Amino acid sequence: MFNELFLQKIWFLQYFNKNDLKTECGKTLQIVFPGNANLNAGPDFLNARIQLNEIEWAGNIEIHLKTSDWFKHAHQHDKHYSNVILHVVYLNDRYDFYQSPVLTLKNRMIHLKKDLLNEIIRSKYSIACFPFFKKRYLTEEIKKHLLQSRFERKCAEIIDLLKFTHYDWEQVIWILFCKNMGHHVNENAFKNIALNLPYNIIQKYETDPILLQSLIFGMAGLLDKEFIDIYPEQLKTHFQRLKIFHALKSSLTDVFFLRMRPMNFPTIRLAQLSALLTSHIGILNTFLIEDDLHHLRSYFKVQLNDYWENHFVFDKISARSSKMIGEDLINNILINTIIPLKITRSYVRLGKIDFSIVFSLLNQIKPESNRIFQYFSENEKLVESAADSQAMIELYNSFCSQKKCEECLVAYEMSQNN
């Protein structure tokens, strides 16, 4: 048996037979708009519109597996549910329910074929449905739903961070940028740099590259030794003074160099971050308000300190090479930091997430390279944009890797077309 969350997805995508819809009390029903998913307390979908006996109603929708769940959850005592215009359930087990019209979906849903589902569950592949999977099963509606789930979660994480910082947007942007620049291996260490080095201190040194670099490298614990080269020794001297002046505490999380390409070394990432901060005054706020992708990308074209032309780490010369911020990293920052920040800002200001921003921007960005895509298909090209790749990553992480086939909308789509 599926859970309530799955039924919410069925409602969101309208994956049921809508011919001759009627409520339990016999009223004809037409769904004009299923509503917006609610991230907060209250009904599951807000601002829906329906027609009952050709009279239009506007309000909220609540989803339950059974009608009796309304009383189980004590909604009858909660004012948030006073404007529910339709109670959508899988099974109606209460015929004395008068709070709102009830729509039962039990006989309108097309269930997963048991033989196909059992074959999927017994599968030996990393992606259980690998023998059956085709790109066409990841419909636009399902893709948008996966993206919505993914970015709602990112939005919720940012809101938690906003609450933690007392809604200091600049500090939140700074924390997320640092974390993103650290990538997977050093994201916690880089995040701790931002937590221990407040953005209001960063702002004092945006016009002095050397002092800013000394703060960032020092807070990463990379200036705690004797150096041969003049540049790192100079940074160390400045940091010792600034650390006392601002009463700073260095991060307790070590940065790692092992098992990564030199371009991903924390020294290079921190040098790039420092160059970004000193290239334009208030650059992080600019990322938040600028919507043009071409302009956003242009801000990443920054010049690092000359020292890094022939170094990947301090005191060790290497062949000269460009250390400019690459396209893959720019795309990663756009996807995982800038877009989530934009939709969170929209949510805080307007009370809802403008997913048109997400879909529009992601469709303009190249897809990430990720090994999980080959788990789904060996021959078919599955991703053409970041919208595709982000949806596939969400599909894998939330369903495939956990074998939640019975809750997966792609499996639901597959069962109808096999």
- Say whether pLDDT at 122 is over 70: no
Answer whether 386's CB lies under 8 Å from 367's CB.
yes
Nearest alpha carbon to residue 50 among 18, 9, 80, 72: 18
- Say whether pLDDT at 183 is over 90: no
Comparison of pLDDT for 150 and 41, the residue scoring more = 150
> Residue ranges of the domains in the chain?
4-109, 165-325
Cα 58 from chain centroid (whole Å): 30
- Can you spell out the DSSP letters for 150-213? HHHHHHHHHHHHHHHTTS-HHHHHHHHHHHHHTHHHHHHHHHHHHHHS-HHHHHHTTT-HHHHH
- Say whether pLDDT at 104 is over 60: yes
Q: Which helix (H) or strand (E) holds 267?
A: helix 266-279
> Could you tell me which residues come within 8 angstroms of residue 48 by beta carbon, excluding any fewer than 6 positions away?
31, 32, 33, 34, 35, 58, 59, 60, 61, 85, 86
Furthest-apart CA pair in the chain: how many Å?
85
Residues written for the chain: 418
Chain-wide mean pLDDT for the chain?
A: 90
pLDDT-based confidence at residue 342 (cuts at 50, 70, 90):
very high
**Integer Cα distance of 66 and 93 in angstroms:** 6
Answer whether 312's CB lies under 8 Å from 275's CB.
no
Comparison of pLDDT for 183 and 64, the residue scoring more = 64
- Say whether pLDDT at 117 is over 70: no
pLDDT-based confidence at residue 30 (cuts at 50, 70, 90):
very high
Take residue 68 and report the two structure tokens written for it. 């009796």
3-class SS of residue 146: helix
Take residue 325 and report the two structure tokens written for it. 């911020």
pLDDT-based confidence at residue 124 (cuts at 50, 70, 90):
low
What does the buried/exposed string (b/e) look like for 38-76 if buried means 16 or more CB atoms within 10 Å of the residue's CB? bbeebbbbbebebebeeeeeebbbbbbbbbebbeeeebe
- Say whether pLDDT at 17 is over 80: yes
- Say whether pLDDT at 121 is over 60: no
